[in-house]
Chains A and B, each alone.
Chain A
Amino acid sequence: MGDHGDGHSEQGAVAKAGQSVAEKFQDPGIPPHRPRLADKDPRAAKRAERQVAILFGISVLGTLLFFWAYFGVRLDQTVATLRLQNLLLGLGTGFAMLGIGTGIVHWAKALMPDHEVSEERHEIRSEADRVAAVKIVDEILDETGIKRRPLIRNTLIGAVALAPLPAIAMFRDLGPLPANALSHTMWKEGTRLVHDPTGTPIKASDVTIGSAFHVIPDGLNEMTEGKLEAKAKAVVLLMRLNPELLHPSAGREDWSHDGIVAYSKICTHVGCPVALYEQQTHHLLCPCHQSTFDLTQECKVIFGPANRPLPQLPIKIDSEGYLVAQSDFHEPVGPSFWERS
């Protein structure tokens, strides 16, 4: 290990582009050590010693605070006591840790020697090592005879290339194949539109102009299996507009009932629920990436990253005046995927 000020001796060995050594400033070497207060004054050293001890003492108090908070605070099912306990446990732990940490660092900075020292770097790979290693590898390869026996080499390569394939194939049963699962939902002819999450059916007369309902298909709540998967495709938004504002395209004229329209709530971008309805503008807004759909243009995208309109659910009323679906959606809902045509 060197001592300070030996920077001189190592100067200039590297070829520096652009400037010759003579044009450069000489490295003056490591600056002389400046004594700290505690190095010069025993009283200052004593003071630092006491400060370190106090910091360690604070850590002890922090640990005690933790125990007091853990056993002393009674949780009474309110968030307030929970927060209080969390605060005290955290303060206890924080002081316990910071006391130790700052104590040690202060000790190191104020009292331990702070002389900078210099050490030589060593070659990462010496040329002698390289030569020796190459020789060893050659000998090893020679002893295996792999170069002289290509048959062994080639069959080994083939075997090693094939052997991992079963490990990949084994993941096949992670899940079923998609088949056409993404193309249909729970909705079918006559399925009632019911409130999400209560499940009460909706009469056309309940839907006033300007209102928007969150809707699920009747029977969803009663499902015991696959409920969330069904819900993730079937949720619908129901709104009523002045019928003159709707501009149904050919074939869709009878998909609404007296200005009441139902659209898939699953964003065609990457699938968030399109939850925000702006009454005045008749826009639906997806909170995730702000795709905006215009109800008066069959939910065409007017802003944002989505590309396709929200699929419309054709609806009608049944004999009791409740809103029901005419059929399933006519296209897959939600984000696009390769097989979607």
Chain B
Amino acid sequence: MSAVTETTYTPETSVGRITNFVDERVGGSGILREFGRKVFPDHWSFMFGEVALYSFVILLLSGTFLTFFFDPSMAETHYNGSFVPLKGVEMSVAYNSSLNISFDIRGGLFMRQVHHWAALLFVASVSVHMLRVFFTGAFRKPREMNWVVGGVLVILSMAAGFTGYSLPDDLLSGNGLRIIDGVIKSIPIIGTYISFFLFGGEFPGTHIIGRLFTLHILLIPAVILLMIAIHLFMVVVHKHTQYPGPGRNDHNVVGYPLGPVYAAKAGGFFFIVFGVVAFMAAAFTINPIWNYGPYDPSPVSAGTQPDWYIGWVDGALRLMPGWLFGFPLEWHIPFPWGVNTLTLNVLLPALVPAGIVFTVLFTYPWLERWITRDNREHHVLDRPRNAPTRTAIGMAGFVFYCVLWAAASSDLIATHFFVSLNDVTYWLRGLFFLGPILAFIATKRIALALQRKDREIALHGRETGRIVRLPHGEFIEVHAQLDDYKRYKLVGFESPEPMPGIPNSKGIVTKSEKRRAALSRFFFEDRVAPATPAELEAGHGHAEHEAIDPANHDAKSISH
């Protein structure tokens, strides 16, 4: 163990000498040997995670710039900056400093806009990335825990966005906080206390911006950073998944080596994301706080929107009626010590939809694992159509989210399409229940239809659009057979069958096993099996069509 290594290597150049100096002390050669040529699969849908990472880096850079000028104090001051319409107006120091960043620091407005656009892109890309992982089944063993880390990141990204949105202390952000305060107060027993502790007394108080600032620039980014580190560490441990196709299976990873191609593409992509965010910040105004004025509990304007990722919660608040068929949803419960109030019309929409979404999200990998009793590692992704029930569940969840999200714009929908606001709300209430069911049914049918089409193409080739007339007068379309590689992409998947209840060691099929079997039936009873070589043989041998050789290509044949 105690052998002293004597290196005889002497570098020739000065760069070489420095590199060697460092390498001898940290062992960089070993790291480079391990990772320098590591293989990464490539696909456009793998880009969303990268966008999320890069927009987070942009947030760190632009946010740090903003902290040098932003002052999170709620002390009263009178505006004396360059924006004439607000001169002399009483406002908080926080709002004042946000105005100064916009009007008196060169490039300050640009940085605010970069920060805000990057924030919207960050939450969006994290969300779309999550959808990609769900619909391709990338959350399956061994990646279940990384799926959970991702779910935590989605929540953190929304928290980061909301705390940031509140900082400038303008009219809109103050109203957002007021709504949060109202929701917090609806929590039974401790709600009022949480509200008083959070705001340091009555709403709005003089503490909240400072506290949100600490959360926004310290705690939340630090936890996000930690989660990203864990997330990427696990990606390295698991190696990336790959889409099904020729040469790819659960035991290999097919793609480009990290150096140079993959690193160049991924590194270059950072600059592309930054460039796109810069263009958006240049051309599209976001959050023009000077138009809103300082926070004041009295005025509010109609048609204002929260940032997009808050929409679904706001929409849930809108959809819930205060009265249901004449029953009040606020209950005054007589206790021995007096009457207490349970505000279900606020509490339910604030908790239930988010509760459903996140419960399903965090448990889904285990649910599917239990139903399929599948304990194998999966490194080859499912094409969404090849897992019709999962894809349908995902679409049902997505539509559920979208209905709530649309509800947050119910007033804009009404004014834009000249319909009554009440009708929009009634329709959306109906869709809240029906939408996910319809989406489930439609998606499942579409997925099965696509599978059938794949089968058809795998067995009979693609339609070429070329019509030929056979000697006996019949017109047929020439089909071009696929080559082996293309065909394998269409047939190389598993189509599990329902798995009946399995007796345990005592020979009994337990209740929970029966339930599992029922769910397995629900998942897999509608299935399209992948085409087999025997079927392809049989198809070629069809007697009713003469095989003609329309071109010189050997792989073409005619079929019905």
Q: Which residues of A contact B (CB under 8 A)?
A: 1-2, 4-7, 10-11, 13-19, 23-31, 70, 75, 77, 79, 82-83, 85-91, 93-105, 107-109, 112-114, 116-121, 124, 171, 174-178, 181-182, 196-197, 214, 216, 226, 228-229, 231-233, 235, 265-266, 269-273, 275-276, 287-291, 301, 303-308, 334-341
Contacts and interface: CB of A to CB of B under 8 A. Distances in A.
Given A1-B257, A31-B247, 4 more contacts: A82-B109, A175-B207, A269-B322, A270-B181
Interface of B: 37-39, 82-84, 102-103, 106-107, 109-110, 113-114, 142, 175, 178-179, 181-183, 185-193, 195-205, 207, 237-239, 246-257, 260-261, 264-265, 267-276, 278-279, 281-283, 285, 290, 295-304, 314, 317-323, 328-330, 332, 338-343, 345-346, 349, 376-377, 379, 410-411, 421-422, 425, 484-485, 487-488, 491-492, 494-497, 529-534
A42 B530 CA distance: 44
Nearest to A91: B282
A83 B285 CA distance: 9
B299 A10 contact: no
B178 to A, nearest CB: 5
A117 to B, nearest CB: 6
Nearest to B203: A232
Contacts of A175: 196-201, 205, 207
B346 A269 contact: yes
B275 A97 contact: yes
Contacts of B237: 124
Contacts of A114: 256, 261
A232 B410 contact: no
Nearest to B58: A97
A86 B109 CA distance: 7
A18 B494 contact: yes
Contacts of B345: 269, 305-307
A124 B332 contact: no
B191 A338 contact: yes
Contact of A231 (B205, B269, B297, B318): B297
Contact of B532 (A4, A19, A336): A19
B247 A4 contact: yes
B275 A101 contact: yes
Nearest to B372: A17
A301 B110 contact: no
Contacts of A288: 175, 179, 300
Nearest to B253: A119
Nearest to A70: B106
Given A232-B297, A338-B188, A289 B318 contact: yes
A269 B142 contact: no
A331 B376 CA distance: 62
B425 to A, nearest CB: 7
A101 to B, nearest CB: 3
Given A272-B175, A337-B185, A171 B298 contact: no
Given A30-B254, A337-B185, A214 B322 contact: no
Contacts of A29: 246-247
A273 B270 contact: no
A1 B37 contact: yes
Given A109-B265, A120-B252, A337-B341, A31 B246 contact: yes
B201 A118 contact: no
B249 A10 contact: yes
Contacts of A11: 249
7 contacts: A4-B247, A77-B84, A93-B275, A118-B252, A182-B192, A338-B185, A339-B341
Contacts of B207: 175
A178 B532 CA distance: 72
A86 B113 CA distance: 9
A284 B186 CA distance: 23
Q: A269, A301, A341 — which one has the most chain B CB atoms within 10 A of its CB? A: A269
A118 B341 CA distance: 64
A175 B192 CA distance: 11
A86 B238 CA distance: 44
Nearest to A226: B202
B492 A120 contact: no
Nearest to B238: A124
Contact of A105 (B113, B269, B321, B346): B269
A338 B297 contact: no
Given A121-B252, A340-B341, A228 B297 contact: yes
Given A101-B271, A175-B200, A119 B38 contact: yes
Given A117-B256, A336-B346, A97 B186 contact: no
B332 A272 contact: no
Contacts of B192: 178, 182, 337-339
Given A117-B257, A235-B297, A101 B179 contact: no
A13 B345 CA distance: 56
A108 B264 contact: yes
A241 B261 CA distance: 75
A182 B341 CA distance: 14
A144 B114 CA distance: 55
Nearest to B267: A104
Given A28-B488, A117-B257, A301-B322, A341 B332 contact: yes
Nearest to A339: B192
A91 B113 CA distance: 13
Contact of A229 (B182, B202, B341): B202
Contacts of B84: 77
Q: B183, B192, B204 — which one has the most chain A CB atoms within 10 A of its CB? A: B192
A212 B14 CA distance: 81
Contacts of B178: 232, 270-272
Chain A to chain B: the 4 pairs with minimum beta-carbon distance, closest first: A90-B282, A270-B182, A101-B271, A104-B268
A100 B268 contact: yes
A339 B488 contact: no
Contacts of B189: 338
A178 B256 contact: no
Contacts of A265: 298
Given A70-B107, A124-B237, A97 B272 contact: yes
Nearest to B496: A17
Contact of B496 (A18, A101, A105, A196): A18
B298 A105 contact: no
Nearest to A171: B197
Contacts of B346: 269-270, 305, 335-336
Given A28-B488, A336-B186, A338-B189, A18 B275 contact: no
Contacts of B497: 17-18
Contacts of B340: 338-339, 341
B182 A308 contact: no
Nearest to B332: A341
A188 B345 CA distance: 31
Contact of B247 (A30, A82, A336): A30
Contacts of A235: 297-298
Contact of B484 (A28, A82, A91): A28
A62 to B, nearest CB: 9
Nearest to A285: B302
B533 A25 contact: yes
B196 A87 contact: no
Nearest to A236: B298
A149 to B, nearest CB: 33
B257 to A, nearest CB: 6
Nearest to B334: A341
Q: B239, B257, B275 — which one has the most chain A CB atoms within 10 A of its CB? A: B275
A107 B411 contact: no
Contacts of B191: 337-338
A102 B196 contact: no
B275 A95 contact: yes
Contact of B410 (A119, A290, A301): A290
Contacts of A334: 182
Contacts of A18: 494-497, 529
Contact of A7 (B82, B197, B252, B529): B252
Nearest to A76: B82
B503 to A, nearest CB: 19
Contacts of A233: 202
